[in-house]
Amino acid sequence: MTYFYGGDGFILAHRRGFYLTAGMPIVLHDTLSREMRPLSLKAGKSTFGMYCCGPTVYGPAHIGNFRTFTLQDVLRRTLEVDGLKVKHVRNITDVDDKTIRGAQAAGQTLTDFTKKWTEKFHADCKALGLLTPQVEPSAVAHIPQQIAMIQALVERGHAYVSKDGSVYFKVHSCKGYGKLSHIDFSKQETQATNSAGEANDADEYERESASDFALWKSRKPEDGNNFWPSPWGEGRPGWHIECSAMSLAHLGATFDLHGGGIDLCFPHHENEIAQTECATGINGFAAHWFHSAHLLVEGEKMSKSKGNLFTLDELVAKGFSPMEVRYALIAGHYRTSLNFTMKGLEDARSALGKIERGVEKLLQVAGFTKAEFSVPTVMETQTAWGRFAHAWEVLQHDLNIPGCLGQVFTMLADKSELTEAQARHDLSGLGKILYALGLVLFTEVAGPSAPANVVALAAQRWAAKQAKDFAAADRLRKELTELGWTMLDHKDGYDLKKSV
């Protein structure tokens, strides 16, 4: 029998159904019902559809953004270990006020500007060990779908065209508006602030009511060349409509789970529900809402506008590894704000070291080498959880990562004498938990982690290859070779290896 740990090998084992789970469904807090609810496949469905709002690509994502994306990655991995096949869709917001202003300031086209920041985002995701979503749709590539949805809303009486050719969603026409954020919209409410209490800077033109929001924004001189034709004249989509149109295109009118940072709960997600349900006439847009609390710096949300942000590159330059950053970002409960400190990163370093030393001891007793822990390895016990069954159950209950890690440390500190078989059971259980958390150990065995410029070049080459720009892909491969790195391509991704 074969046990796989690490990267694709582990997923392969999982897809083939080689191991069993501890037999409990994952339960997770749902923002809409405010209840703990089990996550499972709907009758007749073979995949679990998960839509996550992606980055606005006008600069490097900060580690606050990555807290949200990494927690979504842990949720996806946990569902996979639990035996579900997940279809993960995460969009790219590549047209809005910020991307347009950023492109103009950089003297670039919107396409070139957003491509550069999308590639940087991909490079950071790879360094942090985030699994690639199966679909990563861009807003610009879905303009016709957005127009079609706005048309449906106008036809059904849920939207109106203003004098300047902008189109607004009529909030009072939507029964149940406010159900996600639990705001009573029968009283006059506005979209002036979001659910994190911050000013909502989306520009609005000629609304009938303060709560109405833009679906289509008529062309303005400051938009430059960034406009598209529509039945209402030239313009561009409002922000909220892109996620409704892209989730409909890739997951259908209803799907299993929707995720985002807590600031998106209102108005963005409330508006997504309203747009999709009113356009399709089908209730029950996302069955489950997964919102993660913010990363804070000295008590304030980390954000580009506040200028209190850290990027992954900045932390790597301070000597921390992306895996240490990942650990620090997931170490707190997802529903609690996490205060970011350098001390938190140092704690992450020592926690990872502790796990590595614990695993080394287990490997010794089990008769395996470190390298065998990170590549497909022959094991007899791939279904076992050993002493880590409880840690897994803790993770399954509302994605309690700190509780799960606490249980892992308790078990690793347990000095009981183990037999070879028991140590193998432990490695099987702990290996699955580490996969779910996306924590890769002994990176020196798998090879040194590549420097940020190499990671960025590799992401560019992969994007060029996907776009069938083979000349650019070859040129970038050459550049990587000159820097002493080789890219090993797989069907849906790649690895970077130091050349020998």
Q: List residues near ligand AMP by CB under 6 A.
A: 53, 55-56, 64-65, 67-68, 93, 260-261, 263-264, 294-295, 301-303
Q: Which does 64 bind (CB under 5 to 8 A by kind): ligand AMP, Zn ion, none?
A: ligand AMP
**283 CB-near residues (< 8 Å, 6+ apart):** 277
Nearer to ligand AMP, 158 or 269 (CB): 269
- 125 neighbors 118 (Cβ within 8 angstroms): no
Smallest distance, ligand AMP to C-beta of residue 67, A: 4
Q: Which pair of tokens denotes residue 477?
A: 């491969």
Ordered alpha helix ranges (H), 82-142: 97-106, 110-127
Q: Are strands 35-39 and 235-237 parallel, antiparallel or unpaired?
A: unpaired
Smaller CB separation from ligand AMP, 263 or 324: 263
Quick one: 117 or 373, whose CB is closer to ligand AMP? 117
- Smaller CB distance to Zn ion: residue 52 or 395? 52
The window from 119-127, 235-243, 281-289, 467-475 that contacts Zn ion (CB under 5 A) reads: 235-243
- 61 neighbors 313 (Cβ within 8 angstroms): no
Cβ at position 293, least distance to ligand AMP in Å: 7
Backbone angles phi, psi at 355, to 5 degrees: -65, -40
Q: Which is nearer to ligand AMP, 256 or 263 (CB)?
A: 263
Residue 78 contact partner, candidates ligand AMP, Zn ion, none, CB within 5 to 8 A by sort of partner: none
418 binds Zn ion (CB under 5 A): no
Q: Name the 3-class secondary structure at 169.
A: strand
In the bound state with ligand AMP, the residue whose beta carbon lies nearer, of 82 and 270, is 270
CB closer to ligand AMP out of 58 and 285:
58
Sequence-distant (≥ 6) Cβ neighbours of residue 201 within 8 angstroms: 97
* Closest separation in Å from C-beta 408 to ligand AMP: 24
Q: Of ligand AMP, Zn ion, none, which one does residue 243 interact with (CB within 5 to 8 Å by kind)?
A: Zn ion
Query: CB under 5 A: which stretch of 236-244, 284-292, 374-382, 390-398 binds Zn ion?
Result: 236-244
Please pick, from the candidates 95, 243, 355, 379, the single residue that binds Zn ion as defined by CB under 5 A.
243
Cβ-contact 258, 162 below 8 angstroms = no
Token pair of 191 as six digits: 């979209």
Q: What is the smallest separation between the CB atom of 60 and ligand AMP, expressed in angstroms?
A: 10
| Residue number with CB closer to Zn ion (100 or 437) | 100
Among Zn ion, ligand AMP, none, residue 431 binds (CB under 5-8 Å by kind): none
The conformational region for residue 449 under phi > 0 = left, psi -120 to 50 = alpha, else beta, is: beta
Nearest to 127 by CA among 456, 492, 482: 456
Stretch that binds Zn ion, among 5-13, 50-58, 320-328, 477-485 (CB under 5 A): 50-58
HSE value, Cβ hemisphere, 13 Å, CA-based, for 490? 9
Q: Omega of the bond prior to 38 within 30 degrees of 0, cis?
A: no
302 interface partner picked from ligand AMP, Zn ion, none, CB below 5 to 8 A per type = ligand AMP
Least distance (Å) between residue 445 CB and ligand AMP: 32
- Would strands 2-3 and 377-378 be described as parallel, antiparallel, or unpaired? antiparallel
What is the total count of residues that contact Zn ion (CB under 5 A)? 2
- Please report, as a single letter, which amino acid is at residue 470: F
Residue 171: strand pairing partners: none
**487: enclosing H helix or E strand:** strand 485-490
Residue nearest to ligand AMP (CB): 261
Distance (Å, rounded) from C-alpha 113 to C-alpha 100? 9
The pair of three-digit structure tokens given for residue 497, joined into one six-digit string: 């290896």
Which of 32, 39, 53, 309 forms a contact with Zn ion (CB under 5 A)?
53
Instruction: Report whether 428 contacts 379 (CB < 8 A).
Output: yes
Nearer of residues 70 and 145 to ligand AMP, judged by Cβ: 70
Interface residue list for Zn ion (CB under 5 A): 53, 243
